Amino acid sequence: MRRFRTLALPLVFLLLLGACASSEGDPLAEGTSEESAEATSEEESSSESEPESEEGGESESAPAEGEGGPITVGSTNFSEQLILASMYAQLLENAGVEVEERPNLGNREVVYPAIESGEIDLLPEYTGALATFVNGGEEPEDTSTEGLVSYLGENLPEGLEVLEPSDAQDQDASAVTQETADEFGLTTLSDLAEVCDQLVAGGPAEEETRRVGLPGLEEVYGCTFSEFRALDAGGPLTVEALNSGQIDVGRVFTTQGIIEENGWVVLEDDQGLVPSENIIPLVRSEVLTDDVESILNELSAALTEEDLIELNRRVDIDQEDPADVATSFLEEAGLLS
């Protein structure tokens, strides 16, 4: 019996590996987006007979599709996304649109395939990060807000489109404690570059390979840290590591409430490494009616970066419910009738 088990273990393992290999789609690989988009739109058009899904670019031509069912609003897995998705959902519901919420789905690697396949229809996104993702991990050349929005307009797969960007941005940034800033006289990333080799950086693992992370800091600023520690994306690990001095420079996002809460100093990106990251709704064309479009554009216009910082702070630090925070903002802004 035992002999059988010792032989069976590796066998089962190999079988599992084989099963992974034979499934076509590699969920993590870059550049599979187009293929899966085609595959899913074919599936849909065959099962629901929706020829419109081929004509994704022109939204107004297919408003009727929105009446087929509720609009599913998704989000990734951090507070700001939960707040924004809740705002989208509440505004649409307020206008009489049937809405289903699917918050907290995971990172972009998870939600983007979900919106491509039609599992979700609407998603709060960021201009730079989305354009870079769509471009297979490389930043488009023009990283201004206008440049990125027009890039997205041309390069999103059929059936997906973005609406008007908000002025509010949530950019990747490097933060240090007040003591570190005082000790080395840091206010900009150029200042940081002078002393990078004495400092330890920390952030999510993807910072090691993304251009807005270490590769860009090295290329644009000539900054090479003495060490990099893989932590999380501005989460509890980063807070703990930065405050306890295990790292000197932490990756944060400019709208995070934890920055002010901990008295950190965000270093200015004086050479323009980080692309614009305006909040922008990503939506499936088949659910986009004129009403939906104008409601979401109105919200984007009303939202400021200061609002986001305050709303994030209320959720992350005061532990308020994202939906309640979203409601109170919409009421104050007079967007709910």
Partner 1 sequence: MSVWQGVLEWFADPAHWQGADGVPNRVFQHVSYSLIASLLAIAIALPIGLVLGHTGKGGQLAINVSNLGRAIPSFGIIILAFIVAGIGFLPVLVTLVALAIPPIITNTYVGMRAVDPEVREAAEGMGMTGWQLLRGVEMPIAQPLIMAGIRTSVVQVIATATLAAFISLGGLGRYIIDGFGQRNTPEVISGAILVAALALLTEYGLAAVQRATLSKGLARSSRVAEAAVGAKMGAPPPGMFQPPHLP
Among the listed residues 8, 9, 15, 64, the single contact to partner 1 using CB under 8 A = 9
For residue 124, give the DSSP letter.
E
- The residue within the footprint of partner 1, chosen from 4, 10, 96, 337 (CB under 8 A), is 10
Nearer to partner 1, 20 or 46 (CB): 20
Residue 257: Cβ within 10 Å count: 20
Count the neighbouring beta carbons within 10 Å of the beta carbon of residue 61: 11
- CB of residue 272 vs partner 1: minimum separation in angstroms? 24
Question: In whole angstroms, what is the distance from residue 255 CA to residue 332 CA?
Answer: 20
* Six-digit token string for 214: 């270490």
Asked if residue 209 binds partner 1 (CB under 8 A), the reply is yes
State the sign of the Cα–Cα–Cα–Cα dihedral 219, 225, 231, 234: negative
Single residue of 236, 294, 321, 324 touching partner 1 by CB under 8 A: 236
Residue 237 is a binding residue for partner 1 (CB under 8 A) = yes
Q: Which is nearer to partner 1, 88 or 225 (CB)?
A: 225
- Closer to partner 1 by Cβ: residue 63 or 157: 157
Stretch that binds partner 1, among 76-84, 159-167, 201-209, 264-272 (CB under 8 A): 201-209
Cα 187 to chain centroid, rounded:
27
One-letter identity of residue 43: E
263: left (phi over 0), alpha (psi -120 to 50) or beta: left
Interaction residues for partner 1, span 21-80 (CB under 8 A) = 21, 26, 28-30
Q: How open is the CA angle 148-84-300, to the nearest 5 degrees?
A: 50
Q: Which is nearer to partner 1, 178 or 209 (CB)?
A: 209
Separation between Cα atoms, residue 331 and residue 333, nearest integer Å: 5
Q: Which of 6, 47, 49, 337 lies at the binding interface for partner 1 (CB under 8 A)? A: 6
**Residues within the interface to partner 1 (CB under 8 A):** 2, 6, 9-10, 13, 17, 20-21, 26, 28-30, 109, 137, 202, 204-206, 208-209, 229-231, 236-237, 240-241, 244, 246
